[in-house]
């Protein structure tokens, strides 16, 4: 009797492993690496006709988050927008040059995504758009939520 | 027969259930799961309005008339020949107070859905006029105008179709009351 009670009983781990792998697969498929460049605390305007960004290129779009005080953030950090846009444009020009891409009329073939809080005033927004334009960014994508709620 | 039975016996012995140690695999799987759960951020239901801000064109506008005096601008704007000018003033809260296309008042008061429809119809009628080939819109807005109000106007502009059938994407922005030379001069 004592011999039979000392036998080790192992639970069948196969179903739990199956379930865990299913969950891992789900999270791997829905993971959003681009989310890191977005400030999800911003209250974007709602516009039903807003569409996903139509851009197919090797270089990542430049994302600028503008909060209601007009402070610009990129990749989670507050930036000096003048210096930041200038350095990003300079870097992109170097990369394009190295890749043999010629600029047409000095226009950078990469869009700038402007994610501004809906209460940001036009003066703040215009200043940033003009800055991007001066550095060669002419494609501007203005972000909005396609429906209410997050 | 004997050989067969030996073989069979050997096979039977080697075919005993081999139990894998699942614990290590499960540990790793849980680690991966924890990572994905902690880094999971549901993707926002986010879209964009794409505009193309063309380089400056220092030409005198002949299609759009000079803006009215109350807009705060002088009549001498520098615009492209095919530019349609919109003048937007706002109230203290940043809402649209008045919107003119050239000198024609289209919206008085807030930009309600009905006013947006009216603006859309007006722009559509202008873009359909033969002989006048607008290829860009220039929005002259009050500095207090809120981003969400501006987006409604940009949305209407980008819904228009050019004479060649392409969507209107060339939009430029200027601030009302600012001298042209200081804010880019398009």
Residue A105's Cβ-count burial label (10 Å; 0-12, 13-18, 19+) is: exposed
pLDDT at B161: 86
What is the number of alpha carbons within 13 Å of residue B82 lying toward its C-beta?
A: 15
- Looking at chain A, the whole-number percentage of residues with pLDDT higher than 70 is 91
Task: Output phi, psi for B185, to 5 deg.
Answer: 65, 60
* 3-state secondary structure (DSSP) of residue B36: helix
Average pLDDT along chain A: 85
Residues of A in contact with B51 (CB under 8 A): 139-142
The mean per-residue pLDDT over the stretch B32-39 comes to 86
Q: Which two tokens stand for residue B153?
A: 């106007």
Alpha carbons B174 and B161: distance in angstroms, whole number: 22
The alpha carbons of chain B give a radius of gyration, in whole angstroms, of 33
pLDDT at B78: 44
CB nearest to A121's CB, from B43, B145, B183: B145
Is the model more confident about B20 or about A77? A77
| pTM > 0.90: yes or no | no
Q: What confidence category does residue B1 fall into, taking pLDDT thresholds of 50, 70 and 90?
A: very low
Pairing of strands A72-74, B171-175: unpaired
CB nearest to B36's CB, from A31, A117, A140: A31
Concatenated DSSP letters for B102-134? TTEEEEESS--HHHHHHHHHHHHHHHH-TT---
Residue B119's Cβ-count burial label (10 Å; 0-12, 13-18, 19+) is: buried
Is the model more confident about B158 or about A37? B158
Residues of B in contact with A38 (CB under 8 A): 44, 46
Is the model more confident about B1 or about B82? B82
The mean per-residue pLDDT over the stretch B103-110 comes to 88
Alpha carbons A62 and A140: distance in angstroms, whole number: 10
Q: How large is the ipTM?
A: 0.76
Is the model more confident about B130 or about A110? A110
Residues of B in contact with A143 (CB under 8 A): 46-48
CB nearest to B150's CB, from A24, A27, A122: A122
Most confident range (mean pLDDT) of A46-55, B36-45, B138-147, B161-170 is: B138-147
pLDDT at B120: 92
The answer, yes or no, to whether residue B57 has pLDDT greater than 70, is: no
User: Which of B25, B28, B32, B46 to probe by mutation at the A interface, max A CB count within 10 Å?
Assistant: B46
Q: Decide if B148 and A118 are in contact by the 8 Å CB cutoff.
A: yes
pLDDT at B64: 47
Q: Is B28 on the interface with A (CB under 8 A)?
A: no
pLDDT at A147: 76
Q: What confidence category does residue A2 fall into, taking pLDDT thresholds of 50, 70 and 90?
A: very low
Q: Decide if B47 and A51 are in contact by the 8 Å CB cutoff.
A: yes
The mean per-residue pLDDT over the stretch B148-176 comes to 88
Alpha carbons B21 and A51: distance in angstroms, whole number: 50
CB nearest to B147's CB, from A35, A45, A140: A45
pLDDT at B73: 42
pLDDT at B58: 54
Average pLDDT along chain B: 75
The mean per-residue pLDDT over the stretch B38-47 comes to 75
pLDDT at B121: 92
- B90: distance to nearest CA of chain A, Å? 10
Concatenated DSSP letters for chain A? -HHHHTS------HHHHHHHHHHHHHHHHH--GGGGGS-TT----B-TT-B------SSPPEEEEE-TT--EEETTEE--HHHHHHHHHHHHHHHHHHTTPPPBTTBBSS-EEEEE-TT-BHHHHHHHHHHHHHHTB-EEEEEEESSS--
């Amino acid at each position: 009797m004592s011999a039979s009670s000392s036998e080790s009983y192992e639970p069948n781990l196969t179903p739990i492993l199956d379930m865990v792998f299913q969950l891992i697969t789900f999270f791997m498929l829905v993971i959003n690496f681009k989310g890191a460049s977005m400030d999800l605390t911003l209250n974007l305007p709602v516009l039903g006709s807003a569409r996903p960004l139509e851009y197919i290129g090797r270089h990542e779009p430049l994302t600028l988050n503008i909060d209601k005080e007009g402070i610009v953030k990129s990749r989670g950090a507050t930036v000096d927008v003048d210096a930041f846009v200038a350095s990003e444009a300079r870097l992109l020009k170097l990369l394009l040059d190295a890749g043999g891409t010629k600029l047409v009329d000095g226009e950078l073939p990469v869009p700038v995504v402007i994610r501004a809080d809906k209460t940001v005033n036009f003066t703040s927004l215009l200043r940033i758009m003009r800055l991007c334009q001066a550095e060669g960014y002419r494609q501007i994508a203005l972000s909005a939520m396609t429906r209410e709620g997050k | 027969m004997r050989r067969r039975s030996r073989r069979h016996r050997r096979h039977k012995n080697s075919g005993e259930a081999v139990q894998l140690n699942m614990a290590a695999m499960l540990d790793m799987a849980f680690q991966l799961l924890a990572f994905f759960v902690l880094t999971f951020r549901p993707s926002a239901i986010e879209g964009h309005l794409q505009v193309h801000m063309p380089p400056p064109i220092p030409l005198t506008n002949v299609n759009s008339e000079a803006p009215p005096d109350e807009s705060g601008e002088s009549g001498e704007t520098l615009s492209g020949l095919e530019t349609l000018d919109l003048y937007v003033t706002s109230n203290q809260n940043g809402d649209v107070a008045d919107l003119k296309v050239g000198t024609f008042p289209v919206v008085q008061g807030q930009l309600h859905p009905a006013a947006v429809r009216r603006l859309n119809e007006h722009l559509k009628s202008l873009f359909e006029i033969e002989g006048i080939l607008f290829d860009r819109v220039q929005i002259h807005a009050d500095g207090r105008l809120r981003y969400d109000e501006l987006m409604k106007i940009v949305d209407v502009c980008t819904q228009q179709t050019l004479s060649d059938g392409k969507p209107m994407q060339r939009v430029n922005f200027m601030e009302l009351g600012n001298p042209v030379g200081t804010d880019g001069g398009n």
